[in-house]
Amino acid sequence: MSNQATTNRPPTPSTVTLQIEDGILCLPLSGITDALMRDFFKDEETVLLICQYPAGDHDLAHWPFCEDGERILRSALYDAREQGLMPDAKTVVLPDGTEFVIDK
């Protein structure tokens, strides 16, 4: 896919590697940067990546990607980053080891 790097590279300390839980992409709790958010999710191991819409409905970021999967993931990651659920990074690492560009 065009938004992914062609080579795998080891994560850096601020790199978030997404996890899979029941076919849904999640952020690991260790990736949460905001102290209040970290405390809020303290009993969880992961945080689901959800793309929320103004009308109130939502989509989940499925893995492997389904139709519109990249768009849903990009939107969910942008929201997560703005809410302090992850570092201010331009990319994340997908479960298969490839890099995914958030701001495209």
Domain residue extents for the chain:
31-101
Model confidence pLDDT, tens digit, residues 69-93: 999 999 999 999 998 888 888 999 9
pTM of the model: 0.81
Listed in sequence order, the residues at least 6 apart from 37 whose beta carbon sits closer than 8 Å to its beta carbon are 83, 84, 85
Question: Under a CB-based contact definition with an 8 Å cutoff, are residues 65 and 59 in contact?
Answer: no
Q: What is the C-alpha to C-alpha distance for residues 57 and 29, in angstroms, rounded to an integer?
A: 24
Question: Under a CB-based contact definition with an 8 Å cutoff, are residues 5 and 24 in contact?
Answer: no
Asked if residue 4 has pLDDT above 60, the reply is: no
- State percent of the chain over pLDDT 70: 87
Asked if residue 6 has pLDDT above 70, the reply is: no
DSSP code of residue 28 = E
Model confidence pLDDT, tens digit, residues 26-46: 999 888 888 888 899 989 889
Q: What is the C-alpha to C-alpha distance for residues 87 and 37, in angstroms, rounded to an integer?
A: 12
The mean pLDDT of the chain is 86
